[in-house]
Chain A
Amino acid sequence: MTYTVRKFDAVIVGAGGAGLRAAIQLSEAGYKTAVLTKVFPTRSHTVAAQGGVAASLGNSEEDHWHWHMYDTVKGSDWLGDQDAIEFMCRKANEVVVELEHYGMPFDRLDNGKIYQRPFGGHMSNFGEKPVRRSCAAADRTGHAMLHAMYQRNVKVNTQFFVEWQALDLVRDAEGDVLGVTAMDMETGEIVVFHAKATIFATGGAGRIYYSSTNAFINTGDGVGMAARAGIPLEDMEFWQFHPTGVAGAGVLITEGVRGEGGILRNSDGERFMERYAPNAKDLASRDVVSRAMTTEINEGRGCGPNKDFVLLDITHLPPETIMKRLPGIHEIGIQFAGVDCLKEPLPVVPTCHYQMGGIPTNYLGQVVVPKGGNQSEPVHGFYAAGECACASVHGANRLGTNSLLDLLVFGKSAGETAVNDLRASVKAHKPLAQEAIARTLARVDRLNNQKDGADVHETRLAMQRTMQKHAGVFRFKDMLAEGVKRIDEIAGQVAQTQIKDKSMVFNTARIEALELDNLIEVAKATIVSANARTESRGAHVRDDAIDTPETPDGRDDRNWLKHTLWYREGNRLDYKPVQMKPMSVDTIELKKRAY
């Protein structure tokens, strides 16, 4: 198999929010940058974000980044790194205002400022009462943001490689990152993008689950590539199940619906969140609401013929408010639930939504690994941002609207750090060794020549069903242990997938097989990490972690206040401490979490 080599100062993989934000930094600084993306940039999954982006602008009422920081630490169930969280919350106003300057069509208040709405877990005065912090463009915030940032990149002449599938990370013998290998989907050609800086902004892998709000393209490509190249994956047991996916279809219904006054009801018509979160009610954090909903369904108070969903009711809101603030939800209700939400409640269930873990990074966007006694040694030339990265600002549970903030802050930060490193480096490109790309050639060759192998569609489905059953909203000791074995067997099949279509031209069967190589790494990391963590924290809740005075709600700080690191080699686990010390303010001390 042949390949060519192209040289760039920087290569960015992924053109969703984080990749586009990083690209603005590189292009404005004048560096020769290639942005690889497997879909046209505006088709990236950032487009599906609905409710808003968090920033303590205080446009409607008093707000403060320190309150936002407190909420984020609490939301993370204290697993988030407090230095990175402070950094993100302090930068929020700057990056949101910047976006407005790019042309983002935020909704407006009467005084002309950006409209803000309440969102789950966002409170004023250190957890007192809900605050309006989510900056929104109707219920299409992600779409408006992604387009505004793509457009900004058109302005600054960013060079995109559209419909190129990145295949593997290229590292040399010293572990430095020298770029990526990628396939031009239109021609099947393989190219090595040789770069001094490589930024991963490849998004999440929600497609490891059967029921997911995520797009088909969310296959954890960067996470899988990093794992195959020996980078550990951090906190992969933590997956967010969004409370309100459309029952049956999985399509997201924004938390902004509850922010605007929507109420969750069970089959008795009861507003059950009052029992689970007396203060925040329907606006408690997502892990809390998803568990409450699942409990209602498990205890027989679900709705519908199979009693397998609950209802999200906004029929009490003025129709004008719905049509002005939630027009997309009205459309989704009709399209995917067959329900006019002006007149009837929407059927919803908790649905896999967001990957809290990922490639370990620091707040500068550098990828960090344990090396020679240092827990967080930067990998030379490698950066990551957005959902594929773990900074870690979301810890064990992400707050709504913090994902769009994460990709803005850390997309920019990774871009800035790469620019600074490029400025400081006088060296030419490090030499590229033939062995560095052997992994890619072997993978593609294996797939092209596989005989009597496993069907890609069936194998992926088996993985998704296993993850759904064995690592869902509630987790069970024996199910997790069995899941580890089952996923291991499926990984064996993934190593022998076979495609019938052998064409070189836009072969989507080949791409899906290569994506499955990435998904399975994420699934393995998730189930192995979840099986090992014998406590309940944030989105990871298991039956054998018992509520005691020392371990409130099963959270065991003495033994488990630490980040998981999963290594592909040997399916091995390691741990590193949580950064409890913020950059400038006092530590937010451990406390039992209640809403």
Chain B
Amino acid sequence: MTNANRTVQFKIYRYDPDQDAKPYMQDISVELDSTARKLLDAMGKLKAQDDSISFRRACREGGCGSDAMNINGKNGLACLTAMDSFPAGKPIVLRPLPGLPVIRDLIVDMTQFFKQYNSIKPYLINNDPPPERERLQSPEDREELNGLYECILCACCTTSCPSFWWNPDKFVGPAGLLAAYRYIADTRDQAANERLDNLEDPYRLFRCHTIMNCVDVCPKGLNPTKAIGKIKEMMVRRAI
């Protein structure tokens, strides 16, 4: 459990292009009581103290993916990071997600991330006329989507991937590829071949070198590497 009223030290990446010539790390501390259980609670107190500290936040329960950031060197969601998980006596180091342009402080420009996501056609493709009622799907077939559809697009995975850092414009990245496999695996979708064609290129899929940072950081416990492996396998199967 957290102790009542303690002082916690932070080192926060600060950059406001309106005022600052270049980014810097700011040392700042905040007095916390026992209600600050998660990092996001503590950051709320920090913001009440200095309203210029900038970060995104919305649902505060790990569902919306707004507050992804680099926490002590590892990507994660501030709202799901417990304050008592930090080693005592050391400052908590907060940086923006790596590999994307910084707009301000902990807020990154996610345009490239969503461009890659959109490029895999993240929607059901089924050219049959829609039936009167729901399309049928067995519980077993539906189960294939578990571990895929739960992605919250926080970008923790993609921005922890060295392949994405090198080729953000060419490599789809783990989040986008997870979404691609989510539709390939859906028995209601008819475009598996088209989807594989879309990824058959030296970069879009094959820049994944199974480094597995994505699995390590996913706040929802998903496994993009496994999904990518399945796409690669399908690619090989249809080639022979």
Binding site for A on B (CB under 8 A): 16-19, 35, 37, 47-48, 50-52, 54-66, 80, 103-104, 107, 110, 114, 118, 121-124, 126, 130, 132-139, 141-142, 145, 149-150, 152-153, 183, 186, 188-189
Contacts and interface: CB of A to CB of B under 8 A. Distances in A.
B63 A113 contact: no
A427 B132 CA distance: 38
A336 interface: yes
Given A107-B142, A215-B59, A503-B16, A508 B64 contact: no
Main secondary structure of the interface of B (DSSP, over half): loop
A505 B16 contact: yes
A154 B123 contact: yes
Interface in A136-187: 137, 140, 143-144, 147, 151-152, 154-155, 186
A335 B59 contact: no
B103 A43 contact: no
B223 to A, nearest CB: 15
A45 B123 CA distance: 21
A457 B47 contact: yes
Contact of B65 (A43, A101, A106, A335): A43
B142 A43 contact: no
Given A42-B153, A331-B62, 10 more contacts: A45-B58, A103-B183, A103-B186, A107-B142, A110-B138, A143-B150, A152-B123, A216-B59, A252-B61, A506-B107
B136 A111 contact: yes
Interface string A84-109: 00000000000011001111011111
A508 B54 contact: yes
Nearest to A38: B58
A550 to B, nearest CB: 45
Contacts of A154: 118, 121-123
Given A100-B134, A335-B80, A457-B48, A45 B59 contact: yes
Interface string A45-60: 1011000000001000
B137 A108 contact: yes
B18 A505 contact: yes
B142 A217 contact: no
B52 A501 contact: yes
11 contacts: A40-B114, A107-B142, A143-B150, A215-B58, A215-B60, A457-B47, A458-B48, A503-B19, A505-B17, A508-B47, A508-B55
Interface residues of A, number: 60
A332 B186 CA distance: 27
- 9 residue pairs, one from A and one from B, having the closest CB atoms: A103-B124, A112-B136, A509-B51, A501-B52, A43-B64, A151-B123, A457-B48, A100-B134, A155-B123
Contacts of A501: 51-52
Contacts of A103: 123-124, 183, 186, 188-189
Given A108-B142, A147-B149, A186-B103, A100 B59 contact: no
B63 A47 contact: yes
B91 to A, nearest CB: 23
Interface centre among B65, B122, B183 (most CB of A within 10 A): B122
A588 interface: no
Nearest to A101: B130
A57 B134 CA distance: 10
A144 to B, nearest CB: 6
B51 A110 contact: no
Contacts of B57: 216
Contacts of A48: 59, 61, 63-64
A137 B145 CA distance: 11
Given A499-B51, A501-B52, A505-B104, A42 B134 contact: no
Given A109-B139, A147-B149, A509-B51, A102 B123 contact: yes
Contacts of A331: 62
A144 B148 CA distance: 11
Nearest to A153: B123
A218 to B, nearest CB: 9
Given A40-B110, A143-B63, A106 B58 contact: no
Contacts of A40: 66, 110, 114, 153
Given A186-B103, A506-B104, A100 B135 contact: yes
A24 to B, nearest CB: 11
A39 interface: yes
Contact of B61 (A57, A113, A332, A512): A332
Contacts of A143: 63, 150, 152
A217 B138 CA distance: 38
Nearest to B59: A215
A155 B80 CA distance: 32
A21 B26 CA distance: 43
A249 interface: yes
Nearest to B16: A503
Contacts of A140: 150
Contacts of A186: 103
B144 to A, nearest CB: 10
A29 interface: no
A154 B114 CA distance: 11
Contacts of B122: 151, 154
A556 to B, nearest CB: 39
A456 B121 CA distance: 42
A522 interface: no
A504 interface: yes
A504 B130 CA distance: 48
A500 B149 contact: no
A250 to B, nearest CB: 9
Nearest to A150: B122
B123 A42 contact: no
Interface string A325-341: 00000011001100000
A458 B51 CA distance: 12
Interface string A475-488: 00000000000000
Contact of A101 (B19, B47, B52, B135): B135
Contacts of B65: 42-43
Contacts of A458: 48
Given A147-B149, A216-B58, A332-B61, A456 B51 contact: yes
A108 B139 contact: yes
Given A43-B64, A113-B136, A500 B142 contact: no
B123 A108 contact: no
